[in-house]
Chains A and B, each alone.
Chain A
Amino acid sequence: MMTPEDREELISHLPALRAYAISLTRSRARAEDAVQEAVLKALSNPEKFEHGTNMRAWLFTILRNGYYSSRRRHTREVGFAEGIWSARLAVKPDHDGHLQMRDFIRAFERLPDEQREILILVGAGGLSYEKAAEVTGVPMGTVKSRINRARARLASDLGLYDGPMEITDPINLAVLSQV
């Protein structure tokens, strides 16, 4: 049974669940349907949540399973990502950074679905490799190799090299100074 605290925690994960769903479905409307279905499933199967475990990973797993199950049932709706990332572009203040982000989005969109997903889960969602493996249902070694391939492909597409490179964007410089 879910405690009131569990339910509040579930609510606190909704923004992350929606963000993950958008990255999977590449559509806000479909993502919100997927979140709704996942939450209803979670509420109707509370016994499957083990207290003390990672609720976000549990919810991501339910959402992902539901999405892929639905996608198998229906003809896959393939389409451009309807500018799902563009909102963030609008608030990027730095011209140099803005151009780099636009290039990055294009390269990111070209990644295979499974590579883009794993970057979202680990690189942005903060899941460990182990939890990302649970969510996606693949061995941890596959998670690592997908991450490495995704990063290598992005680095190649964007001309990022680990040797000397000219970076003028102060945000990027700040990131690099922490590595």
Chain B
Amino acid sequence: MSRNDQSNGFRASDALIDRNVRLLYDGLIEEGLPDRFKELIDLIRAEDHQQDTKTDDDA
């Protein structure tokens, strides 16, 4: 049974449609992240560092 078979009356054509939608979506995911996201990831992790520093200062 499909993971998204959330309704009664799920049909064979629905399974094919969902499979194709997943293929399209997975294709986008598999492209990976462009370089500009590296800065974003650094920023997300840097906030951890700032919080750690702030905690140390508070202590």
Contact = CB atoms under 8 A, between A and B. Distances in A.
Contacts of B6: 122, 128-129
Interface in A2-50: 2, 4, 7, 10-11, 14-16, 18-19, 22-23, 28, 32, 35-36, 39, 43
Chain A interface size band reads 35 or more
Chain B interface, >50% SS class: helix
B26 interface: yes
Interface in B23-59: 23-29, 31-34, 36-37, 40-41, 43-45, 47-48, 51
A18 B13 CA distance: 28
Interface string A118-160: 0110111110110000000000000010011001001100001
A1 interface: yes
B59 to A, nearest CB: 16
A10 B45 CA distance: 10
Given A123-B21, A179-B12, A14 B37 contact: yes
A126 B17 contact: no
Contact of A176 (B4, B12, B24, B37): B12
A87 interface: yes
Instruction: List 5 A-B pairs, minimum CB-CB distance, nearest first.
Output: A88-B27, A124-B25, A19-B28, A160-B13, A123-B21
